[in-house]
Structure 1
Amino acid sequence: MYTDGACSNNGRGNPRGGWGAVLISSNGYRLKIADRLEGDIITNNRAELTAVIRALEALKSPAEVHLTTDSEYVLKGATQWLPGWKRKDWKTAAKKPVKNADLWREIDRLMPTHKVFFHWVRGHSGHPENDLADHLAVAGANGKTVREYE
């Protein structure tokens, strides 16, 4: 699973956001999904988190998932910060509300269904599937909905 988000104007002015994901099954089938980011707050981090949520929701049954992201926010949030946020009732170490807590709660709800391993790859570095997820996210930000099987 490869996920990415895209956002123009990142929370300022008239932002457009989108998310994209590439899911590859163990037998080689691929699903490409993307759409625009909806809501009152449109930021790159929300787009990144939405991509993870939509990709996990696309799985039809429990699975071992290797989720690759170019977002350190997603990686560290899911693998390091999430347990502490939950213990502290969705507050940061500085006792402030966790940003994007609604999306983090959804990820936290979805992850136990699967065995999820997070991996990080540098964005825009020529990694084919990450570049494809980025392309899909940009397409989503431009209003294109994608759901294609290969």
Structure 2
Amino acid sequence: MANEIMVYTDGGARGNGKEDCVSAWAYTLSYGEHYKENKGAMYGATNNQMEMTAIIEALKAIKNKTIPIKLHSDSAYCITGITSWIHNWKKKGWINSKKEPVENKELWIEMDKLVRECTSIEFVKVKGHADVQGNIRVDALVNLAMDELIAEGR
């Protein structure tokens, strides 16, 4: 559909789960002839946190949230979380199905707020490292952001 904002997001962490892992997020936005991309990196965040941050930063960057949005991510965690799991988490006071506090609660709350600001948003699960140009680009941006952070040193 030509009159929708196409969004691709990705996040990653080299050494996921380790305290000093290198983590990054990236997104691309396209609408007609307009195009924007952005990325960021830090130490110590998990892969899931970076996948969520990419979606949050992309949604923050969209000025006109009345235009339909098609958001592509290779994160089943993010897509299932925001379209399915979140409803029960909110009903149960942010407790998951294992009767434990939901991980990354603050990021889920922020993502949920931004999603609810959108008139129309569709989440599309893409296969990671497949031949999807938008996904290839955000993956490259994530790796570039990590490389730049490492090159800067701490």
Taking structure 2 as the reference length, the TM-score comes to: 0.87
Does residue 28 of structure 1 match 2:33?
yes
What whole-Å deviation, never above 9, does each CA across 1:49-93 have from its counterpart, x for those lacking one? 000000000011213110000011011101110111111111101
Alignment match, 1:66: 70
Alignment match, 1:15: 21
3-state DSSP of counterpart to 1:143 = helix
What whole-Å deviation, never above 9, does each CA across 1:72-121 have from its counterpart, x for those lacking one? 10111011101111111111012101111110000011111112110001
* Contact in 2 for aligned 1:36/1:142 (Cα 8 Å): no
Higher relative contact order (CA 8 A, sep 6+): 1
- What is the percentage of aligned positions where both structures have the same residue? 33
Shift of 1:14: 1.8
Alignment match, 2:124: 119
1:35 maps to a residue whose letter is: G
Taking structure 1 as the reference length, the TM-score comes to: 0.89
- Counterpart-to-counterpart distance in 2, 1:46 and 1:111: 17
1:135-146 paired onto structure 2 within 5 Å? 135-143=140-148
Unaligned runs of 5+ in 1: 145-150
Question: How many residues in Structure 1 have an aligned counterpart in Structure 2?
Answer: 141
- CA RMSD, Structure 1 to Structure 2 (Å): 1.3
